[in-house]
Structure 1
Amino acid sequence: MATSLMTRVKARVDLYTSNRARGLIQGRGRSLFKGSGEDFDDLKYYQPGDKISDIDWKATARSGEPLIRQFNEERVRHLSIVADTSAGMSATAADGTSKREAMILAAGMICFLAQKNGDLVGLVAGSEQHPVQLPARSSDGHLELLLRSIQQGTTTASGPARSDWLLERAFRVTARPTLMTIITDEAHPTVDDFSALRRLTTRHDVMVVRIADGDPLQATAMDMDVVDVDDPREVGSLARTSKRVAQDVAAYRRARGEGISEMLERLHISHVLTRGETTVVDDMIAMLRSREYRHGPH
């Protein structure tokens, strides 16, 4: 009987994390994914950095000091995974592993974190012709189905990436505010997706995990065939051995990456570019630790 994907994820998380990181994953007794909550708890004096919208103006008028409303955190949070299941994600990652397997591991990390904290996870994936959507749930069977849907939906026949369609669909079908994790490759989301991403951030807390592509030329391994999965054709040996082509490709990828990073930073979206399956766990932990630092108490 084949090992479940969630079992494989849990084994990798345990293998690649230190005790300190494992404590972060388990949330140290509280949900890693902090929200504003809905249940009123108490009043406290306003401090610099508190939200102006939380000020209780009637209580403030009575006391003569600015008071803000405190809320209990919601017991159950909703998370969503937006997975790029295009043909490009079935190709090779920068570390030589499969981008699809790295994406499954990244999604599994989110599922593992959510299940530890009693949170619910949904999925948005697929294409315009074959959209995939799963509601937010937390059972073992649901999380396994979520990962299997990503695995089975990501093939060389999936078609080219359409990040504009994927982001638009994520906005339309995910009405409840969530912590939304977009998992894609290094070329996405593109700078043309700025408006769609900005709209997502008005409703959701967004993170982006980008998986780097393998060397598109592989000039040092000429015994290996190199095929572009988005536009299926073999990359010729002349292109793979040309220094000029290599320089142009490197410059293009560098400029594209800088543009995407600048866009995500401008939108205050947590993001990471990982080399593949061998690095995605550690890289996501670093990103989540950075989020914990920014959103935690000061």
Structure 2
Amino acid sequence: MAKPNIAPHSTGLDARIYCDYSRLVRLQSQIGVFSLLPHLKAGSVLSGRHNSLFRGRGLNFEELRHYQLGDDIRNLDWKVTLRTGKPHVRSYTEEKDRNVIICVDQRSQMFFSSTAVMKSVIAAEIAAMCGWRVLKDGDRVGLVIASAEKIYHSKSQRSQHAFMSQLKLLAHANQQLNVETVNSDRVSFSLWLDQIQRMKLSQSTIVFITDWRDCEERHLDQLKQLQIHNDILAVHINDPLEQTIPRELAKSNWVVGDGQFQLSLDTTEKVDQASASMAKRSLLTRQSLTRLMALKSLPFIELDTTGAHIAQFQRLVGRSLP
């Protein structure tokens, strides 16, 4: 796939806090060491069923016709043959491309990091890398972006120009986030998942990139249903401070909040209680997603905010053939 003739200019934003459109375009250079296609090396974490655990190109039913000499008898339609008394075969054509939907979270809770890079930036960059990889393999890709205001859905296309337009929208949604951002009622995980289900996807690859903070058990049941006819890859972006709180913070009299509620961490006991609650929630989320991925023996991908997310993703997904 040819690169754009004119590379977009950087806007000078702090890359740790906001995602830059030019950076999302330049991430094309990072796609050579992983693949979502079924030609992975044996020994890759995704190798196995049919050489890969992601769906590849398949066959579409084209027509039912009379048997002709040389036709593969495995394609005989026995019901029609018995009903008509004449042999009939089902004819198929090969699919020309795959459909990949990348669901990327850019809501207010993603505007957080206690280490190096905001979760929202990590989600955007991983989404861009996946999209460029899909286009490199000649397949169709579309984004479903959950922003703080609304859910954007872009039609899947095998077009670099169309994908770059989607990346502009993604960068815009990212740059609208700030410490005062509050999510609209229109962007809950339930509504996000409803949007995916209305698309009536089948034989598609769906990549969810989020922190899964508001994913409940009922949502996991819906994802299991989607997993029956599709391949869902869960990418979990987690920050160390969302798993455990250092006891030393009690001396600093921290007050933490989510935009609606606040909690004063002014004693060691309060810090320990909050830390235990967060660790339990993080563990339950990790276990639930691991079980979801195990339905298809896919890897559970967890990325942190230390700034090593690209290398982590490349390693966990698997390496492509040279």
Tell me the TM-score normalised to structure 2 length.
0.65
- Counterparts of 1:97 and 1:226 in 2: how far apart (Å)? 22
Q: Which moved more, 1:208-217 or 1:163-172?
A: 208-217
Q: Find the partner of 1:98 among 118, 142, 148.
A: 118
Structure 2 residue aligned with 1:36: 58
| SS, match of residue 59 in structure 2 | coil
Report the Cα offset of residue 183 of structure 1: 0.9
Q: Find the partner of 1:82 among 85, 103, 113.
A: 103
The runs of at least 4 aligned residues of structure 1 exceeding 6 Å deviation read 25-29, 42-45, 68-72, 221-226
| SS, match of residue 130 in structure 2 | helix
Compared with structure 1, are the counterparts of its residues 159 and 24 closer, same or farther at alpha carbon in structure 2 (3 Å cutoff)? closer
What is the one-letter code of the residue matched to 2:183?
Answer: G
Q: Which moved more, 1:134-143 or 1:116-125?
A: 134-143
**Matched-pair contact (CA < 8 Å) for 2:207–2:235:** yes
Query: Which residues in structure 2 correspond to 1:161-240 (within 5 Å)?
Result: 162-173=188-199, 175=201, 177-187=203-213, 189-216=215-242, 217=245, 219=247, 227-229=256-258, 231=260, 233=262, 236-238=265-267
Compared with structure 1, are the counterparts of its residues 200 and 25 closer, same or farther at alpha carbon in structure 2 (3 Å cutoff)? closer
Structure 2 residue aligned with 1:126: 146
- Counterparts of 1:142 and 1:235 in 2: how far apart (Å)? 47
Gaps of 5+ in 1: 15-20, 46-54, 62-67, 293-298
Compared with structure 1, are the counterparts of its residues 74 and 285 closer, same or farther at alpha carbon in structure 2 (3 Å cutoff)? farther
Report the Cα offset of residue 117 of structure 1: 1.2
Compared with structure 1, are the counterparts of its residues 192 and 121 closer, same or farther at alpha carbon in structure 2 (3 Å cutoff)? same
Structure 1 residue aligned with 2:134: 114
- Counterparts of 2:201 and 2:284 in 1: how far apart (Å)? 34
Structure 2 residue aligned with 1:5: 23
- Counterparts of 1:116 and 1:277 in 2: how far apart (Å)? 28
Structure 2 residue aligned with 1:22: 33
Query: More helix per residue: 1 or 2?
Result: 1
Tell me the TM-score normalised to structure 1 length.
0.69
- Counterparts of 2:253 and 2:140 in 1: how far apart (Å)? 43
Report the Cα offset of residue 100 of structure 1: 0.8
**Matched-pair contact (CA < 8 Å) for 1:89–1:185:** yes
What is the one-letter code of the residue matched to 2:309?
Answer: V
Compared with structure 1, are the counterparts of its residues 277 and 138 closer, same or farther at alpha carbon in structure 2 (3 Å cutoff)? farther
**Matched-pair contact (CA < 8 Å) for 1:85–1:158:** no
- Counterparts of 2:165 and 2:308 in 1: how far apart (Å)? 24
Q: Which moved more, 1:129-138 or 1:247-256?
A: 247-256
Report the Cα offset of residue 129 of structure 1: 6.2
- Counterparts of 1:235 and 1:96 in 2: how far apart (Å)? 25
- Counterparts of 2:222 and 2:148 in 1: how far apart (Å)? 16
What is the one-letter code of the residue matched to 2:311?
Answer: D
RMSD across aligned positions (CA): 4.2
Compared with structure 1, are the counterparts of its residues 72 and 218 closer, same or farther at alpha carbon in structure 2 (3 Å cutoff)? farther
- Counterparts of 2:71 and 2:240 in 1: how far apart (Å)? 54
Q: Find the partner of 2:155 among 135, 138, 145.
A: 135
Q: Which moved more, 1:103-112 or 1:150-159?
A: 150-159
What does the per-residue CA deviation read over 1:220-270, in whole Å, with 9 as the maximum and x for residues that have no partner? 577796744454646534369834543443234223422332344246555
| SS, match of residue 156 in structure 2 | strand
**Matched-pair contact (CA < 8 Å) for 1:164–1:193:** yes
What does the per-residue CA deviation read over 1:22-66, in whole Å, with 9 as the maximum and x for residues that have no partner? 27479869x9851323389x9889xxxxxxxxx53469x9xxxxx
Gaps of 5+ in 2: 1-8, 11-20, 41-51, 63-69, 82-88
**Matched-pair contact (CA < 8 Å) for 2:55–2:204:** no
Report the Cα offset of residue 134 of structure 1: 0.9
Report the Cα offset of residue 153 of structure 1: 2.4
**Matched-pair contact (CA < 8 Å) for 1:123–1:133:** yes
**Matched-pair contact (CA < 8 Å) for 1:124–1:134:** yes
